């Protein structure tokens, strides 16, 4: 026997009602789905307003405003952002936006260059047969795929020369590499969505109805 | 009978059977069902035969509607949950890398675990979290958890409660503040990681419960990443593994293992190295299969292992319908050509 309070039972039923309401869309659009969708959007919006207000405005600015004067600059920039709501002085909002774009670019340009460009280039430059010719057959094949895939992929994105002849054939190999990558990504996405669905199905049959042993 | 009437009757039957099943569960009238291996095998054969039948009908130009596809996916996901078949799980080098990071640590080492996800991604990431926490407890490692997503710390608490219950441990066995601490959520994304590089305390003045940083024995001597022996990031998006790699690994040199949703895994794979050349990540758990693999390595069989059969069934059904769809497409094209369209 399961020991839950009234509100515990109520919560499980509400969760089941909303879960089934969302999936009812698979049959066809209906008022149950529309209600569930509206509840989800409303709760999400409300939740994020509260989180952002208490964690950012209250938790960071209001609590620390006396200790760190720099926070006032952030608050003023935030206030300037709200000027968008007044059409006549809406141009003021461009200044904080420009600050955000500039600061983010400056801060993250080196990070992206180091982590997503230089490190990846470094990983691509490798001895084909391993250190001291110690690579196995599978590793050599893997290395070859990386070399060919990188080279042909880059050729595909070289648009200054017409994709004809040997150059065009190399670019087509690059397209195949890209398509296989997109296929793998799509496969992973399907796997992820299935996992989420399995989670809800498990909730329905195990936690709600108790039908799974 | 009108479609509307049939729909109402089906809905009423569903409500009645659901109430019956729920009341039965509460009063102990039933304890759930499980199919024997023979019944499971018969179900699999029936499913396969029905797919062959759909293929034959497609060849006869009688196409199935989208609702039939949805129904098949639903059935393929649900039925394996009732089956008692164990699916063999092969552990990949990527997942072994995450596990090896824990194995290499001495008891008392500090492990930083960032919970950067919310309940929406729990089916994939929660089993990973439970397996990692379970292994940390087993190896007597100090666990410092935090969240760059608002609901991350709650997921950490739920994972710890679940794993302690499964391992038969109490709060006396895993002492809060000494063996485990939850620093809570901190807004700011990647800037939090950057500030943590110089001082943890500047970002987390107190823990999840409001206890001041210096009053927590497990972290009072932890100044920055140099005092952390191993880090694990469980992520469902931004901020997540990419930010931890860019700031934590490449700027501050932390040793990082990652667990991602399957959607995110392909974007994180480039950070993995090879056997010869270590990458920015020491290991990667991708999606539910990654979670099942880490469960196997840690001997903590959980939901990911149970769900893998459903996952495999669903994939088979998806592949079958891709084939059926292609057959319908190419037959349609051939017919158009014959008609001269």
CA distance B251 to B226: 12
In this model, does residue A3 exceed pLDDT 90? no
| pLDDT value at residue B207 | 94
Rg (alpha carbons) of chain B, rounded to whole number? 25
Q: Are B83 and B309 in contact (CB under 8 A)?
A: yes
Residue B337: pLDDT band with limits 50, 70, 90: low
Residue A119 in contact with partner chain B when CB distance is under 8 A: yes
Residue A63: pLDDT band with limits 50, 70, 90: confident
Residue A139: pLDDT band with limits 50, 70, 90: confident
Q: Has residue A177 been placed in a domain?
A: yes
Chosen for mutation from A29, A30, A194, A212 (greatest number of chain B CBs closer than 10 Å) is A194
In this model, does residue B341 exceed pLDDT 70? no
Report the alpha-carbon angle A130-A133-A135, nearest 5: 50
Residue A156: pLDDT band with limits 50, 70, 90: very high
Hey, are the CB atoms on B270 and A120 less than 8 Å from each other?
A: yes
Hey, are the CB atoms on B21 and A210 less than 8 Å from each other?
A: yes
Which tops the pLDDT comparison, B210 or B278? Answer: B210
Mean pLDDT within A60-71? 86
Mean pLDDT within B237-253? 94
Residue pLDDT, tens place only, B5-64: 999 999 999 999 999 999 999 999 988 889 999 999 999 999 999 999 999 999 998 888
Tokens of B268: 């994180």
Hey, are the CB atoms on A55 and B185 less than 8 Å from each other?
A: yes
**A127-150: string of b/e by CB count within 10 Å (b at 16+)?**
eeebeeeebeeebeeebeebeebb
Residue ranges of the domains in chain B? 33-85+305-339, 93-301
Residue B241: pLDDT band with limits 50, 70, 90: very high
Contacts of B81 in chain A (CB under 8 A): 198, 201-202, 205-206, 212
The count of CB pairs under 8 A between chains A and B is 158
Q: Has residue A109 been placed in a domain?
A: no
CATH class for the domain made up of B93-301: alpha beta
Contacts of A126 in chain B (CB under 8 A): 274, 276-277
Beta bridge partners of B257: B232, B283
| pLDDT value at residue A122 | 84
- B186 DSSP assignment: -
Among the partner-chain residues A139, A210, A212, the one whose CB lies closest to the CB of B82 is A212
Question: Rounded to a whole number, what is the distance in Å from the CA of A85 to chain B's nearest CA?
Answer: 25
Contacts of B261 in chain A (CB under 8 A): 192, 195
Residue A104 in contact with partner chain B when CB distance is under 8 A: no
In this model, does residue B148 exceed pLDDT 80? yes
**B200-229: string of b/e by CB count within 10 Å (b at 16+)?**
bbebbeebbeeeebeebebbeebebbeebb
Residue A134: pLDDT band with limits 50, 70, 90: confident
What share of chain B in percent tops pLDDT 90?
86
| pLDDT value at residue B338 | 61
Cβ count within 10 A of residue A123 = 19
In this model, does residue A167 exceed pLDDT 90? yes
Q: Are B182 and B211 in contact (CB under 8 A)?
A: no
Among the partner-chain residues B32, B190, B315, the one whose CB lies closest to the CB of A210 is B32
Tokens of B89: 């799980």
Q: For residue B154, give Cα distances in angstroms to A36, B86, B147, B211.
A: 24, 31, 9, 17
| pLDDT value at residue B275 | 59
| ipTM (interface pTM) | 0.90
Q: Has residue A86 been placed in a domain?
A: no
Tokens of B200: 């943890």
SS3 B181: strand
CA distance A136 to B65: 49
Contacts of A13 in chain B (CB under 8 A): 22
Q: For all residues of chain B together, what is the average pLDDT?
A: 93
Per-residue 3-state assignment (H helix, E strand, C coil) for chain A:
CCCCCHHHHHHHHHHHHHHHHHHHHHCCCCHHHHHHHHHHHHHHHHHHHHHHHHHHHHHHHHHHCCCCCHHHHHHHHHHHHHHHHCHHHHHHHHHHHHHHHHHHHHHHHHHHHHHHHHHHHHHHCCCCCCHHHCCCHHHHHHHHHHHHHHHHHHHHCCCCCCCCHHHHHHHHHHHHHHHHHHHHHHHHHHHHHHHHHHHHHHHHHHHHCCCEC
Interface of B with A in 174-203 (CB under 8 A): 185-188, 190
Residue A73 in contact with partner chain B when CB distance is under 8 A: no
Contacts of B314 in chain A (CB under 8 A): 194, 197-198
Hey, are the CB atoms on A196 and B287 less than 8 Å from each other?
A: no
Q: For all residues of chain A together, what is the average pLDDT?
A: 91
Chosen for mutation from A188, A190, A212 (greatest number of chain B CBs closer than 10 Å) is A188
pTM score: 0.90
Beta bridge partners of B83: B35
Q: Has residue A21 been placed in a domain?
A: no
Mean pLDDT within A67-84? 91
Sheet holding B256-260, edge to edge: B180-185, B142-147, B110-116, B230-235, B256-260, B283-286
In 3D, which of A122, A150, B258 has the Cα closest to residue A142? A150
Residue B18 in contact with partner chain A when CB distance is under 8 A: yes
Contacts of A181 in chain B (CB under 8 A): 266
CA distance B5 to A166: 66
Hey, are the CB atoms on B274 and A139 less than 8 Å from each other?
A: yes
Residue B246 in contact with partner chain A when CB distance is under 8 A: yes
Residue B70: pLDDT band with limits 50, 70, 90: very high
How many structural domains does chain A have? Answer: 1
Q: Has residue A73 been placed in a domain?
A: no
Mean pLDDT within B299-303? 92
| pLDDT value at residue B229 | 97
Residue A121: pLDDT band with limits 50, 70, 90: confident
Residue B2 in contact with partner chain A when CB distance is under 8 A: no
In this model, does residue B80 exceed pLDDT 90? yes
Residue B296: pLDDT band with limits 50, 70, 90: very high
Q: Has residue A18 been placed in a domain?
A: no
CA distance A182 to A199: 26
CA distance B227 to B217: 14
Hey, are the CB atoms on A192 and B261 less than 8 Å from each other?
A: yes
Give the domain range for residue A209: 128-213
In this model, does residue A21 exceed pLDDT 60? yes
């Amino acid at each position: 026997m399961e020991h839950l309070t009234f509100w515990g039972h109520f919560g499980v039923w509400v969760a089941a009602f909303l879960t089934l309401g969302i999936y009812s869309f698979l049959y066809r659009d209906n008022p149950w789905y529309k209600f569930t969708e509206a509840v989800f959007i409303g709760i999400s919006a409300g939740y994020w307003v509260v989180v952002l207000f208490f964690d950012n405005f209250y938790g960071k600015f209001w609590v620390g405003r006396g200790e760190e004067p720099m926070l006032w600059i952030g608050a003023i920039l935030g206030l300037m952002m709200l000027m968008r709501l007044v059409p006549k002085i809406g141009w003021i909002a461009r200044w904080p936006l420009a600050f955000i774009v500039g600061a983010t670019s400056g801060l993250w340009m080196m990070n992206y260059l180091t982590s997503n460009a230089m490190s990846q280039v470094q990983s691509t430059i490798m001895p084909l047969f391993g250190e001291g010719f110690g690579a196995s057959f599978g590793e050599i094949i893997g290395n070859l795929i990386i070399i060919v895939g990188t080279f042909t992929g880059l050729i595909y994105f070289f648009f200054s020369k017409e994709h004809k002849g040997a150059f065009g054939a190399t670019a087509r190999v690059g397209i195949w590499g890209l398509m296989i990558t997109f296929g793998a990504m799509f496969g992973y996405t399907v796997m992820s969505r299935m996992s989420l669905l399995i989670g809800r199905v498990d909730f329905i049959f195990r936690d709600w109805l108790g039908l799974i042993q | 009978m009108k479609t509307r009437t049939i729909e109402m009757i089906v809905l009423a039957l569903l409500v009645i059977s659901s109430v019956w099943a729920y009341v039965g569960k509460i009063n102990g009238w039933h304890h759930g069902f499980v199919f024997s291996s023979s019944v499971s095998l018969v179900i699999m054969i029936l499913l396969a035969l029905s797919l062959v039948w759909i293929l034959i009908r497609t060849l006869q130009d009688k196409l199935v509607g989208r609702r039939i596809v949805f129904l098949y996916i639903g059935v393929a996901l649900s039925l394996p949950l009732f089956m008692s078949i164990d699916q063999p799980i092969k552990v990949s080098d990527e997942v072994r890398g995450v596990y090896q990071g824990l194995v290499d640590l001495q008891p008392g080492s500090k492990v930083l675990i960032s919970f950067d996800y919310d309940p929406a991604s729990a089916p994939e990431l929660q089993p990973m979290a439970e397996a990692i926490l379970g292994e940390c407890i087993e190896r007597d490692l100090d666990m410092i958890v935090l969240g760059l997503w608002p609901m991350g710390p709650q997921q950490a608490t739920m994972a710890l409660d679940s794993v302690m219950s499964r391992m038969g441990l109490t709060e006396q066995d895993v002492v809060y503040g000494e063996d485990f601490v939850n620093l809570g959520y901190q807004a700011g994304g990647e800037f939090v990681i950057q500030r943590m590089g110089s001082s943890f305390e500047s970002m987390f003045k107190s823990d999840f419960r409001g206890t001041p940083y210096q009053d927590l024995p497990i972290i009072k001597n932890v100044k920055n990443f140099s005092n952390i022996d191993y880090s694990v990031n469980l992520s469902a998006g931004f901020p997540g593994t990419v930010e931890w790699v860019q700031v934590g690994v490449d700027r501050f040199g932390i040793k990082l293992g990652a667990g991602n949703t399957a959607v995110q895994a392909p974007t994180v794979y480039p950070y993995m190295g090879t056997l010869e050349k270590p990458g920015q990540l020491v290991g990667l758990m991708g999606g539910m299969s990654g979670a099942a693999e880490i469960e196997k390595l840690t001997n903590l069989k959980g939901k990911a292992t149970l769900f893998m059969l459903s996952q495999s069934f669903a994939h088979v059904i998806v592949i079958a319908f891709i084939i059926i769809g292609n057959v319908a497409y190419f037959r349609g094209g051939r017919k158009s050509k014959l008609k001269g369209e």
